[in-house]
Amino acid sequence: MAMCGTHVRSCIALTVRCASQCTYGTYNGSSQRAVLTVTSMRMFSTSHARQGILQRANDRFESFLDHRFPAFYVYYHTFMKGFKLLLEDMTEARKIKVKMNTNGIPFKELPYREMERLRLVRKDIIKAIPMVIISLPPFAICLVFTLMYLFPRQLLFHHFWTPQQQRDFKKLYHEQRARHHYAILTGMESSIPCVEKWMLRSHLQSLCTKVQSGTHPEVSDLWLVQGVFSGHPLGFNNIRNSHMRLLASQLLLTPWLPAFMARRRLSAKGLELLHLDRALSSLGVDQLCDAEVEEACYLRGLDTSSLSTSQWREWLKQWLQLSSQVKESETSLLLHSMVLLSVNYPAH
């Protein structure tokens, strides 16, 4: 600390001296550059040495954990790596937001990867808020680490999960979604008598029967019923509250919000999904790495755990084929398709 204070005082003295000499016209460029260079070299040398000491201490600490407490070391390493990745994501998200504000670019016109980065960072920050609040009181950090260790799925997010936890939690979340598949299909079927046009009624009945019998539908089958999802009875503003909450479960949204807030949030998420689809169509599925394809499929309702990478890509192309014809007033169709296109995939 004394060494650091010495360098700070040296910098302040140098700055005051330069400012004084510039003010009174006695600035000597060569001498001041020499003083500045010497001071900068000293500061860099001290800082570099200090960083080397800290790095060696950190390496020894990690080596100690790895040998004595290997299980804890895995969580420690994951946690430290998670912080680094989170900071990188937040930095990148800030650059994207600055670009949007500077150039007047709306969210829906961003490239796919930038759009996806903003979506994930916003989701992570919202989940991190409770832990930040808990950690505010003095000496609460021990409680925070204990809670994060005991409840990683509820309190942390993907940056802070081990690879095994990521697989386990994804499987668990999909099981939560799958529990509502039958109820969503039943709700669709119960709305058939409310469809005014006989042709739409017939196509919707055929689609529900096909999916309930275990057959994977064609994209053309869903195109035939698009009109049902823009107004009564399955448009966002017309679906029953109970059915709306079932759809919210497919995006892993909390179902306990007041009905008007849950409906508005679900509508916004459906529109966001449509914008993501359009950006992804412009980029092309073939431009994505396997991890990006898996994440895109999982977001849209597919259980990727038992499928091959080629099946992920095939399914995602089917999804984009559907969404390419969906209007903003028909985004309810996308949320229903999270069940319709995934529940029986792959076709047997």
- Which tens digits make up the pLDDT trace of 258-293? 888 999 999 999 999 999 999 999 999 999 999 999
Neighbours of 113 (CB within 10 A): 16
Among candidates 122, 158, 104, 86, which has minimal Cα distance to 272? 122
Percent of the chain with pLDDT over 90: 50
- How many angstroms separate the CA atoms of 69 and 226, rounded? 57
Average pLDDT over residues 146-157: 76
Q: How confident is the model at residue 162 (pLDDT cuts 50, 70, 90)?
A: confident
- Which tens digits make up the pLDDT trace of 122-148? 888 887 777 777 767 766 666 767 777
- How many angstroms separate the CA atoms of 225 and 197, rounded? 11
**Which DSSP state fits 231?**
S
Q: Is the pLDDT of residue 325 over 80?
A: yes
Distances (CA, A) of 196 to 132, 192, 204: 51, 9, 12
Q: Is the pLDDT of residue 243 over 90?
A: yes
Length of the chain: 348
Please report which residue ranges of the chain form alpha helices under DSSP H.
2-23, 29-68, 70-103, 112-134, 141-150, 152-155, 163-178, 181-190, 198-212, 219-223, 241-250, 259-283, 290-299, 309-323, 332-340
Give the least confident one: 30-44, 126-140, 174-188, 317-331: 30-44
Average pLDDT over residues 57-67: 63
The chain-wide mean pLDDT, for the chain, equals 80
User: What are the boundaries of each domain within the chain?
Assistant: 72-154, 177-340
Q: What's the pLDDT score for residue 303?
A: 92
Q: What's the pLDDT score for residue 19?
A: 35
- How many angstroms separate the CA atoms of 254 and 102, rounded? 34
Q: Is the pLDDT of residue 302 over 60?
A: yes
Average pLDDT over residues 79-93: 81
Average pLDDT over residues 206-215: 94
Residues 6+ apart with CB under 8 A from 294: 304, 309, 312
Q: Is the pLDDT of residue 167 over 80?
A: yes
- Which tens digits make up the pLDDT trace of 9-40? 333 333 333 333 343 333 344 434 333 343 44
Q: How confident is the model at residue 50 (pLDDT cuts 50, 70, 90)?
A: low
Report for 5-9, 21-25, 193-197: range of highest mean pLDDT = 193-197
Q: Is the pLDDT of residue 62 over 80?
A: no
Among candidates 302, 312, 308, 309, which has minimal Cα distance to 344? 302
Distances (CA, A) of 268 to 28, 283, 332: 62, 23, 11
Report for 9-18, 43-52, 62-71, 240-249: range of highest mean pLDDT = 240-249
Q: Name residue 175's amino acid.
A: E
Q: Is the pLDDT of residue 184 over 90?
A: yes
